[in-house]
Structure 1
Amino acid sequence: MLLVDSRNPQQTKSFTQALLEPSSPTGGLFSFQNVPNLDFQAYLHLDYTQLAQALFGVLSLDVAPAILQEALKRYEGFSDIAPLKHLSPTLYVQELLHGPTLAFKDMALQPFGILLSQLAQQRQEKYLILVATSGDTGPASLASFASLPNTYVICFYPASGTSLIQALQMQTMDAPNLKVFGIKGNFDDAQSTLKVLLKDTGFKAILQKQGFLLSVANSINIGRIVFQIIYHVWGYLELVRHHALHYGQPLNILVPSGNFGNALGAFYAKQMGLPIAKIGIVSNANNVLEEWIKTGVYDIRQRSLLKTYAPAMDILKSSNVERLLYALLGSQRTLECMQALEQEQIYTLQPQELQILQKHFESFSCDDESCLKSILETYQKYGYLVDPHTATALHAYQQLQTDLPCVVVSTASWSKFAQTTLLGLQGVASTDDRQALEILATQGITPPQRVKELLNRPKIHTEVLETASVASQIQVWLEKH
């Protein structure tokens, strides 16, 4: 299958080409031109790895079976793979947090790193992989690529925009092919810096002189998105296998949304025939997506990014919305909308276009007060502790007006957000996550062992940069490698 540029379908790449070199001269994103319609009932007997192999096959992705098999072995290091917790008659939580960095990003990034490294070795090429993170993509990318041949990773994160545990997961990573920079600014600044570098021909030329090609690990890379389709399919099939629903019965999915990659995976699964009634997009106070899905207006003119208790969702420009626009409205309309957003910071869907969008999606938001309340109520009602992002989706579940089964996508361990967890459970404000973990431990609430170990590791990466100096500092680091 050839992937097409969302803004110019004449620009095409194979899957492996787009994975290695995801940038496009138009600024668009390589996307599926179409996806096959499947009867997923035929996959009920498959385990998770077999399901992944089957979906790569039906999508006709040009990855050698041996390389894919090697990449999928990474799931053997997970403590569990996308299990479902049944909380009430129609409510299920899909836990995507059992990988090495305790966040859903591991589900895609663990195999992704092996794929990219193996392909680079085949081609005898070296890749510089850029990562901009709001908190979870960075640690997951670093954990995936650590010490992998032919790959070098530069990760930048908002220096004051992540939790302590997220920051430590990046700052303490010790591998010769990894470098981490904090930046002064928010995630949108980090992501904008990444996109500027991808389009900077001068920067690419300098890298080429040093023997590097340029790639990214963010979900603007279609290689990430493919792995995010799989767990949505798996979740539905698991419910059928456990007789929670019969095949063909629709369900709703609620996704705490930031850059829209997780939700896009669910959308592609729906397009391929998975019986999803609606995909619920949940925002925090930065509720651009809620407004867009309800009104058709994507407007960031008067908005400034708000810091919330769900920091991975603190985003105003959700990159993967572009792929959705392409799938629903085509390349010309996508180009018009993206240019309007870049130039005027607003675009508006036509009424018929909004109807198409709302056929697949509904939207909700959750402010900080409701987030804390959701953490407490979930713990009191079910004895189940969730992170603040998952809490926003559980808050949205209370607003659903349907009796259909619902899967809430759980995106991270509560232990990565201990201050917010403590505040939600006990109304106690702490000075930092370390103190919050200590207080929670006195109540019998203890984090996973890997979090305890993380608190005692030395920091290796402590630099904080202005965004304008990121490119030059990358070059300085690469000269040493």
Structure 2
Amino acid sequence: METLYRSTRETASQTMTSSQAVLQGLTPDGGLFVPVTLPHADFDFDQLANMSYQAVAYEVLKLFFTDYTEAELKACIQAAYGDQFDDPAIAPVAKHGKQYYLELFHGPTIAFKDLALQILPHLMTTAAKKNQLTAEVVILTATSGDTGKAAMAGFADVDQTRIIVFYPQAGVSAIQKQQMVTQVGDNTYVIAINGNFDDAQTKVKELLNDPELRAQLAANQFQFSSANSINIGRLFPQVAYYVYAYAQMIKQGQIKNGDEVNFSVPTGNFGDILAGYYAKQLGTPIHKLICASNRNNVLTDFFNTGVYNKNREFFLTSSPSMDILVSSNLERLVFYLTGEDAQQTAALMADLQTKGEYRLTPTMRQAITDFWAGFVTEGQDQHEIKHLYAHHHYTIDPHTAVASAVAKQYQSATKDQRPMIVVSTASPYKFPNAVLSAITDQADVTVDGLAAVDQLHDLIKTPIPATVENLRTAPVRHDRVSEPDAMAAAIKTILKLN
């Protein structure tokens, strides 16, 4: 059965194929693509337990990308998940203490975004051929730290594409910044903005839907798309690692087929945890998805009160990829909570834009049964890093620590004894200053960047990832800075549209 896509804000009669939706990125009305009908899965987890990550990914992705042939989809998967990962399992599950950790940092940029952004370029270039696209695709992306590097690593020097990444100049770690500004590829462009991630993301979405800019692009043989998780080519590959993790729990003898598990997910833009929601809808025995936030706890308040309110203080934290007050992917969940009512969804999103908040109806609140939400302070985050290192000789990054600590909050509050899988989203070497501070109990570690990497290595003794080692000699290639209101002008300059 073919899976077609519609907008969260328009009638279901206006549909696209999966390859068309991948190319488009964002719907013309500013909404997000969702399947017209959720695909039906008939997973045999006992069989999946003995399959490779690549094979499991195919079983998942064939449900969502139905206009790709088997050969096309398998070619995309094989190109995405190979030697660029330092563990043949791609996404191994390891037990430390009473928790299980789904390690998603074994890819080329040591962050979970690799699991989706290694395959997106292949999905997109295949889609361009399938749809006879002659225009050059311009990938426009906002990043809170990880997406930018992972997207550029995937798209670097890919034919008929350019990628332009905007990041908050003061809102990423030193290693994240160094990874981005040294990115190679003649088609890659990185621009720091004087603002936060929400400023960058809001402007990117606005530019993607600017009819005048789109017309100017088309006249010059360009077409916009996105590598953010608003693109289904980013979102649905993430479903695969939830299915794979459950299958690996069976393989390790930790659970039996049919036993329910919980996942705790560090959450900012809501894409990663939304992939878990889709995995559950496909039949993966997930009891609860734990939405774990840092001090920017807009999502915690949303799940606990039914009110989404971005009108609050914004904090820069040691888990910068979660420093977000406007969670774009939440719109997809809201769409389902309305009973797939596009008009109601559009009205709520309009409230968010004009008033800075929206409120769920009592009926919608009753429909939130799959999630539990909590948040941690900076001190609690650091305590969790120190605890895992001191008691289990396991080092985690600040984002993973948020999920690990909130998982314990959930277990304490509910007494739920189901196995808990913490989604581990980045290597500790990506945030060495924060990890050092936590482990050594120093409130203000003065070293950062590669100096902090070396000190952390001396302490924890685990190998420094190649992508970090390579930064020692990598020249800076990108030094542009822009105000948010000047982002359109920067794009026009890069594409020589002025």
Bin for the TM-score computed over the shorter chain: over 0.9
Q: 2:322 matched to which residue of 1?
A: 313
Q: How does 1:85-164 map to 2 (within 5 A)?
A: 85-89=94-98, 91-122=99-130, 123=132, 124-164=134-174
Query: What SS does structure 2 have at the residue aligned with 1:458?
Result: coil
**Equivalent residue for 2:81, pick from 72, 75, 78:** 75
2:345 is matched with 334
State how 1:95-244 maps to structure 2 within 5 Å: 95-122=103-130, 123=132, 124-244=134-254
Instruction: Give the letter aligned to residue 473 of structure 1.
Output: A
Cα distance in structure 2, aligned partners of 1:32 and 1:25: 16
1:51 aligns with 2:59: no
Partner residue in 1 for 2:7: 5
Matched residue, 2:20: 17
Q: In structure 2, how many angstroms separate the alpha carbons of the residues matched to 1:289 and 1:436? A: 32
Match of 1:464 among 465, 476, 481: 481
Q: 1:398 to 1:23 in 2, by over 3 A?
A: closer
C-alpha distance in 2 between matches for 1:58 and 1:436: 44
**3-state SS of paired residue (2:91):** coil
- In structure 2, the residue matched to 1:436 is 452
In 2, Cα distance between equivalents of 1:408 and 1:252: 8
SS in 1 for 2:395: coil
Q: Deviation per CA, 1:22-79, whole angstroms, max 9, x where unpaired?
A: 2223211011233234342254243221222222333452113232222212211211
State the partner residue of 1:451. 468
- Matched to 1:46, the amino acid is M
What is the distance in 2 between the residues matched to 1:457 and 1:242? Answer: 40
Displacement, 1:121?
A: 4.3
Q: Is the CA contact (8 Å cut-off) linking 1:390 and 1:411 kept in structure 2?
A: yes
**Structure 1 position 314, deviation (Å):** 0.2
Q: Is 262-271 or 199-208 further displaced after alignment?
A: 199-208
Helix, strand or coil at the partner of 2:289: strand
Alignment of 1:417-432 (within 5 A): 417-428=431-442, 429-432=445-448
* Structure 1 match to 2:422: 408
Which residue number corresponds to residue 257 of structure 1?
267
Q: List alignment gaps of at least 5 residues for structure 2.
A: none
How far apart in 2 are the matches of 1:319 and 1:332?
A: 17
**SS across alignment from 1:347:** strand
Q: Which deviates more, 6-15 or 161-170?
A: 6-15
Q: Structure 1 pair 457/27, CA: closer, same or farther in 2 (3 Å)?
A: same
Match of 1:325 in 2: 334
Kept in 2: contact 1:33–1:327 (CA 8 A): no
Query: What SS does structure 2 have at the residue aligned with 1:12?
Result: coil
2:159 is paired with a residue whose SS is coil
CA 1:121–1:32 in structure 2 vs 1: closer, same or farther (change >3 Å)? Answer: closer
* Residues 404-432 of structure 1 deviation map (CA, whole Å, 9 limit, x = unaligned): 00100000000010110110011231242
Structure 1 residue 290, shift from structure 2 partner: 0.4
5 Å matches for 1:341-352? 341-352=352-363
Of 342-351 and 33-42, more deviation after overlay is shown by 33-42
Partner of 2:116, secondary structure, is helix
Instruction: State the SS of the aligned residue for 2:118.
Output: helix
TM-score (norm 2): 0.93
Give the Cα–Cα distance (whole angstroms) in 2 for the partners of residues 366 and 390 of structure 1.
12
CA separation in 1, counterparts of 2:459 and 2:58? Answer: 44
Cα distance between partner residues in 2 of 1:34 and 1:366? 36
What's the CA shift for 1:444?
A: 5.0
Task: Choose which of 38, 41, 60 in structure 1 pairs with 2:44.
Answer: 41
Q: Which runs of 5+ in 1 are unaligned?
A: none
Is the CA contact (8 Å cut-off) linking 1:103 and 1:411 kept in structure 2? yes
Q: Quick check: 1:289 aligned with 2:294?
A: no
Q: How far apart are the structure 1 equivalents of 2:19 and 2:426?
A: 29
Report if aligned partners of 1:4, 1:12 keep a CA contact under 8 Å in 2: yes
Contact 1:121 1:149 in 2 (8 A): no
Give the aligned residue type for 1:447: I
Residues 271-282 of structure 1: pairs in structure 2 closer than 5 A: 271-282=281-292
Counterpart secondary structure, 2:426: coil
Bigger Cα displacement from structure 2, 39-48 vs 238-247:
39-48
The 8 Å contact of residues 121 and 150 in structure 1, kept in 2 or not, is answered as no
**Contact 2:18 2:64 survives alignment (8 Å):** no
Cα distance in 1 for partners of 2:42, 2:23 equals 31
Q: TM-score, normalised by structure 1?
A: 0.96
Contact 2:19 2:65 in 1 (8 A): no
Q: Is the 8 A contact 2:53 2:91 kept in 1?
A: no
Identity %: 38
**How much does 1:353 deviate?**
1.5
Q: Check if 1:353 corresponds to 2:355.
A: no
- Mean Cα deviation higher: 120-129 or 312-321: 120-129
Cα–Cα, structure 1 residues 60 and 411, in superposed 2: closer, same or farther, change >3 Å?
closer
2:29 aligned residue = 26
TM-superposed CA distance for 1:297, in Å, is 0.8
Conserved 8 A contact 1:210-1:479: no
Structure 1 SS opposite 2:423: strand
Q: Give the SS at the match of 2:417.
A: coil
SS in 1 for 2:336: helix
Task: Determine whether 1:64 maps to 2:69.
Answer: yes
Shift of 1:447: 2.4
- Mapped to 2, the partners of 1:271 and 1:470 lie a distance apart of 38
Helix, strand or coil at the partner of 1:255:
strand
SS at match of 1:434: helix
Contact 1:109 1:140 in 2 (8 A): yes
* Paired residues of 1:173 and 1:460 also in contact (CA < 8 A): yes
